[in-house]
Amino acid sequence: MTNTAEPFTRWRFDNQFILQLPGDSETENFRRQVYAACYSLVRPKTAAQPKLVDYSKAMAQQLDLTEQDCQSVWFTQVMAGNQLLPEMQAYASCYGGHQFGHWAGQLGDGRAINLGEIINTQGQRWALQLKGAGPTPYSRSADGLAVLRSSVREFLCSEAMYHLGVPTTRALSLVLTGDKVLRDMFYDGNSQWEPGAVVCRVAPSFTRFGHFQIHSSRQDLKTLKAMMDYTLRVDFPHLGEPSVETYLAWFAEVCRLTADMIVHWQRVGFVHGVMNTDNMSILGLTIDYGPYGWLDNYDPEWTPNTTDAQGRRYRFGHQPQIAYWNLVQLANAIYPVIEQLEPLQQALAQYASRYESQWLAMMASKLGLSHLDEQEDELWVADLLRLLQDAQLDMTLFYRGLSQVQVDSEWNVFASLLKACSYLDTVEEHFYAAKSWLKQYQKRLLADNQSSEWRLLTMEAVNPCYVLRNYLAQEAIDAAEQGDFSKIHALQKLLENPYQAQSGQEMFAQKRPDWAKQRAGCSMLSCSS
């Protein structure tokens, strides 16, 4: 371990959020409503005994850090919030949001502390944020802290999503604070002391829909406009200087980026779990990994979030509609500055058409076809989704295995795939439907007339071999809580190459085991984190 601040002298800070936006004049750290300001200056809480659990080499590289840098004492101190570099300006930002369809007023960075933005040697802007580094003016009744289990989940999943090609915020490091945090995991009155942790999140910007909503809800057009102008200048500079025209181009782009992100979620079987408007990134990045989950058996009705078990608002199959609903809220929020309804409505309509066309292209590639026709292919694709659901097929295994089914494959090739990835003992009951689907699929492959090499390459590039299955994350957490971080390291390494079958790693590409079906953390999660 080296003990030097040298790694960070390479970092060039350019804290535009603070430079360009109005800040809170109150500098004491107490919970309050913050008006006419986009952020409040805060200091991270000092962690008692920080210990580095893991870091992302891929992210570190993007930030011009070497492995040696990341193993230094300084790195752990900075990533725990114990040491601020001279150019860091720590702040929590103000945002609001709709939670589960209801306006919730001011929320804000209640346990995220921003450290500033750095420009890397490639000229890219990266904002750094510590999640779980203590209370801020936006912490409301909570403590500003995060526990190890939720931090492991965020750390592993955001990097896994990145390597899957899904737009996402990133994670640089995972640090244990050495402090204990009290949590009532099941909301049943049994609170427990759990290990505290901090994740350093990284993104070009952490701006959320709620950053615009809060000022609009208060009819504070001045701050709303400041936030919009800042976003255009810093996050969407290619659109030109702020004007009604560029605001509209910006909103249209947010609609497009959001549509594309949701198509990726549907492609890999990711369920966000809490698609509140404060958890929607203006850059179309997956943000705020809470009670998220991955589909094992394909089930559009599934949600991992116990808080949402009744209404299932954020279930897998509903994510495209919810994203649209959230975009409508964003349009409402920025309307007072734009005062033109029709182009906003047009952009929203384009969200729907963009989603449709991208979804079709995505499904075509998952199935190894050059394209799908909205009308002609609609029925047999719907038949497939019904089969996946009724026969309880493991989504990841099914699509990956489908590349082995050729235009001239016999029925038994497909039948053994179904047997291998169904969670039912009675999958044979679905063989009639499966046979008829296979016939249509093979007919379609024949008509498409692509080489089998092209088909295999196409399918293997979009159908992952490995995803962060809920039970795999839980096993890594169980071990970590006993002080063994090896499973975190193993998963992190594995998930750097999710599309490549890796020898000796077959156990990570298997169906969810029976024991995991009902276990907390492996099937359903609460928001407690």
DSSP 452-494: HHHHHHHHHHHS-S----HHHHHHHHHHHHTT--HHHHHHHHH
Rounded to whole angstroms, the Cα distance separating 427 from 421 reads 10
291 binds, among ligand AMP, Mg ion, none (CB under 5 to 8 A by kind): none
The answer for 190, left when phi > 0, alpha when psi is -120 to 50, beta otherwise, is beta
Q: Which is nearer to Mg ion, 59 or 107 (CB)?
A: 107
Please state the closest distance from residue 207 (CB atom) to ligand AMP, in A: 14
Rounded to whole angstroms, the Cα distance separating 313 from 303 reads 8
Q: Which is nearer to Mg ion, 142 or 244 (CB)?
A: 142
Contacts of 466 (CB under 8 A, 6+ apart): 396, 494, 495, 498, 502, 505, 508, 509
Q: Which is nearer to ligand AMP, 306 or 358 (CB)?
A: 306
The number of angstroms, rounded, from the C-alpha of 339 to the middle of its chain's C-alpha atoms is: 32
Please state the closest distance from residue 128 (CB atom) to ligand AMP, in A: 17
Please state the closest distance from residue 325 (CB atom) to ligand AMP, in A: 17
| Among 21, 9, 449, CA closest to 226 | 21
* b/e sequence 499-519, b meaning 16+ C-beta within 10 Å: beeeeeeeebbebbeeebeee
Please state the closest distance from residue 316 (CB atom) to ligand AMP, in A: 19
108 binds, among Mg ion, ligand AMP, none (CB under 5 to 8 A by kind): ligand AMP
Q: Which is nearer to ligand AMP, 277 or 523 (CB)?
A: 277
Residue nearest to Mg ion as judged by C-beta position: 288
110 binds, among ligand AMP, Mg ion, none (CB under 5 to 8 A by kind): ligand AMP
Q: Which is nearer to ligand AMP, 37 or 239 (CB)?
A: 37
Please state the closest distance from residue 203 (CB atom) to Mg ion, in A: 13
Q: Which residues bind ligand AMP (CB under 6 A)?
A: 107-111, 138-139, 142-145, 274, 278-279, 288, 290, 527
Please state the closest distance from residue 46 (CB atom) to ligand AMP, in A: 17
Q: Which residues bind Mg ion (CB under 5 A)?
A: 279, 288
Q: Which two tokens stand for residue 459?
A: 């399918």
Contacts of 227 (CB under 8 A, 6+ apart): 21, 38, 207, 211, 212, 215
Give the relative orientation of helices 221-235 and 244-268 as an angle to the nearest 10 degrees.
70
| 37 within 8 A of 223, measured Cβ to Cβ | yes
Question: Which residues have a catalytic role annotated?
Answer: 278
Distance of CA 492 to CAs 172, 285, 368, 478, Å? 12, 20, 28, 16
145 binds, among ligand AMP, Mg ion, none (CB under 5 to 8 A by kind): ligand AMP
177 binds, among Mg ion, ligand AMP, none (CB under 5 to 8 A by kind): none
Q: Which two tokens stand for residue 221?
A: 């057009």
144 binds, among Mg ion, ligand AMP, none (CB under 5 to 8 A by kind): ligand AMP
| 277 within 8 A of 213, measured Cβ to Cβ | yes
Q: Which is nearer to ligand AMP, 203 or 248 (CB)?
A: 203
Please state the closest distance from residue 510 (CB atom) to ligand AMP, in A: 31
Three-state SS string over 233-260 comes to HHHCHHHCCCCHHHHHHHHHHHHHHHHH
139 binds, among ligand AMP, Mg ion, none (CB under 5 to 8 A by kind): ligand AMP
Q: Which is nearer to ligand AMP, 208 or 512 (CB)?
A: 208
Taken as a whole, the chain contains a residue count of 529
Residue nearest to ligand AMP as judged by C-beta position: 110
| Among 148, 165, 275, CA closest to 199 | 148
Q: List phi, psi (to 5°) of 179.
A: -100, 155
